[in-house]
Amino acid sequence: MSATAERLNGLLFLLSAATLIAGLTSNGMHEPVLARWCWLAGTLPVAAALAVTSVGAAIRRQAGIDVLALLSIVVALFFGEHLVAAIVALMVATGRSLEDYAQTRARREMTALLQHAPKGATRLEAGQWRQVNVAEICPGDRLMVRHGEIVPVDGGLATPASLDESPLTGESIVRQRQAGESIQSGVLNAGSTFEMVAAASESDSTFAGIVRMVSAAQGERSPSARLADRYALGFVAFTLLLAGASWAYSADPARILAVLVVATPCPLILGVPVAIVSGMSRCAKRGVLVKGGAVLEELAQADILFFDKTGTLTGGLARLVDISCAEGYEPSEVLALAASLSQASNHVISDAVAMMARERGLALIPPSKVQECPGAGVQGMVDKQFIKLGTLAYVMESADIPLWASDAVRRLQIEGMSAVFVSADDRLVGVLLLADKVRLDTPRALRLLRKEGITDQAMLTGDREDIAVAIGEMLGVTEIYAAQSPAEKLAKIRAARERGTVIMVGDGVNDAPALSAADVGVAMGARGAAASSEAADVVLLLDRLDRLVDAVRISRRSRRVALQSVIIGMSLSVLAMLAAALGLLPPLAGAVLQEAIDLLAIANALRALRSDARQLEGAVDTATIDRMKAEHVALEPVMEKIRSVADILPQMERNVAQAELIALNRALLDTLVPHERTEDTHLYPDLARLLGGEDPMAAMSGMHREIFRFTTALNRTITQLPSDGPDAQSVRELQRLLYGLDAILRVHCAQEDELFHMLSQDA
């Protein structure tokens, strides 16, 4: 609806309310003629607006609820019942204003749309770099793109570049592009400044094409019918038949007016918008922006879910998964060296490495003599050591890859990860394995959506098939579509709409066409591209997929309450219509009774503001949960030590192995075991009271028992080793225990992280 139409509806409401009051006042002052003119002045504009919408509905071959209201007003005026007509007009204007309020409130929340679109560029003119509008760029222009800027048009690279292409491709890995390669508009410069040559104008570039697809997809979607309109056709027919029958039976034309007045479907006009607006308000409080009441109704009926991977199911940022080290180096030592050097680099991966080191509380040393090679890596001095950080070719140059590093390379290829190689004084000392991890709230969100009946869940991603399959199978999605272009995503959504109501969730520019084509497009708006937020019907203002669960639940409850309001209100209206048809209810009394029915319908509709979800039985101690989450981060070095000792134990000298095992055992007994016992004896009982039920933490406590069993067995095995270290049989047994402890610890920590995340966000 346009802003002009909204203003008009607001004026109609004010006019009808003011003239009704003025007429009542005049009538009370014994000025009946002035009262009738006041009521007429407020009624006629509303009647004209109803006539326009009714004609429009007839042209579209749709039945609307407005036709009954128009008939009521016309018949009331025909019989000189100006007060009755004024009351009906006020009810109609109120309903329209409520619907407008819902849409206006949603639009007011949405700002800075399509800001991802590049607006300016730096072009070489007469030997100098000048700022120009992106619309002025022509093919052949030489452009400069600084760190953090968006590539303005399609073109070719003149110098190497590190590009974050996830807004277009969906892949979370930063791509290293060499001079001569083609790049597309809309991607982000994640490395140093580079130069390029424009190959297309703004209108002919990739980003503009995607925006055009968004517009086309939005144009294909027919507007959703309002819930109220779906009941209008049958009710209109019933009302006209009853009114005609009462007139034919009694020969009293006043009964027609009485029937029409009480038949004006105000539970539809008022009750449904109130319930829907209430639902939208609750969604907004949960950080979910719903762009209109029709969207909320569609969301309530959705049964098919599509989602992007990068930035939607996953965090969209590389996170440290594991550290492989050369003999003589500890994982924390390698990470500290890499992070110290990373402080001097503006590469997105360098930022991630430095952040992960700070999370673990590692002390970082300021580097010196830093040199960065775009697209390859960075080098410099850290604590009198010459450190290189970057790709394998950059760090190793022509040297052979050590056996331990070969194992890490094979692992990253198999598991679909990326890697940062670290050398010290020209010797490879570590490999940082990085991956875009699944969001902590993602598994829970998908489980809860399945519980809500949305069991058809499919992944649409531009990422590689091996990475997509690994994530999809882990989360249990029903269909996986990898390496999808925006056009292919659009085709999948169109096909799915043939079999049900489709939700599409995404966050990148490449998702915008699919979001527009879906029945309900949902954008991850906190970090997502503004193009996706513009194309979407629902925007999750927090980067949490489980907020979609809240939106689905709220929409279904709101629709359920709206239907209840319709059933209650319309049932009472039908009884009043029968009374009016029998001559027991005159028109004015019918109008007053209809107002009472309206109030009852509105009061019931306001129930949509309340939550029917079970609340936690108490307050969440966020300080305790934050402390436990911090302790999990502090445990990472211990868990890495378990894995690294298990990996290299067979290659160690017996006396070296003895020393490593004793040190590891001390760390387990002094750090890991106390942490797990504190959780089991202090935190879990508190969480059990919050969650309710007989013993909700039983399974998690069972994991603690397994951890204690492994650590006890390890302690006994290590303390009983001979003085010269473990023999071959002891090594095999120790490896079995270490690998088992490593596996159960990682699973247990992942479970607790998900639980802590849920509790801390719901506090």
Catalytic residues: 308
Q: Which residues contact 656 (CB under 8 A, 6 or more apart)?
A: 725
Longest dimension (CA), the chain: 115
Q: How far is CA 99 from CA 59, 282, 329, 389, 548, in A?
A: 22, 16, 66, 58, 23
AA identity, residue 760: S
AA identity, residue 287: G
d(CA 55, CA 64): 10
d(CA 609, CA 13): 24
Q: How far is CA 286 from CA 272, 584, 641, in A?
A: 21, 49, 41
d(CA 223, CA 171): 33
AA identity, residue 227: L
AA identity, residue 70: L
CB 529 within 8 A of CB 514: no
d(CA 306, CA 61): 33
**DSSP states of 305-348:** EEE-STTTTEEEEEEEEEEEE-TT--HHHHHHHHHHHHTT---H
d(CA 414, CA 432): 15
Nearest CA among 303, 711, 238, 225 for reference residue 497? 303
Q: How far is CA 208 from CA 119, 131, 165, 202, 212, in A?
A: 12, 20, 16, 7, 6
Nearest CA among 705, 289, 696, 264 for reference residue 521? 289
Residue 749: which H helix or E strand, with range? helix 728-762
427 φ/ψ sector (left φ>0, alpha ψ -120 to 50, else beta): beta
d(CA 98, CA 277): 8
The counts of H helices and E strands in the chain are: 28, 22
d(CA 610, CA 600): 17
Rg over alpha carbons for the chain, rounded to the nearest Å, is 34
Label the pairing between strands 304-307 and 456-460: parallel
The tokens for 185 are 């508009």
d(CA 649, CA 327): 11
331-334: which pairs have CB atoms within 8 A and are 24 or more residues apart?
A: 331/430, 331/637, 331/640, 331/641, 331/644, 332/360, 332/362, 332/637, 332/640, 334/422, 334/429, 334/430, 334/432
CB 159 within 8 A of CB 223: no
Task: Let me know if 41 is exposed, middle or buried by CB neighbors in 10 A (0-12, 13-18, 19+).
Answer: middle
Cα dihedral sign for 279, 282, 288, 292? positive
Q: Which residues pair with 503 in a beta bridge?
A: 305, 520
165 φ/ψ sector (left φ>0, alpha ψ -120 to 50, else beta): alpha
SS3 371: strand
Label the pairing between strands 194-198 and 142-145: antiparallel
The DSSP symbol for 150 reads B
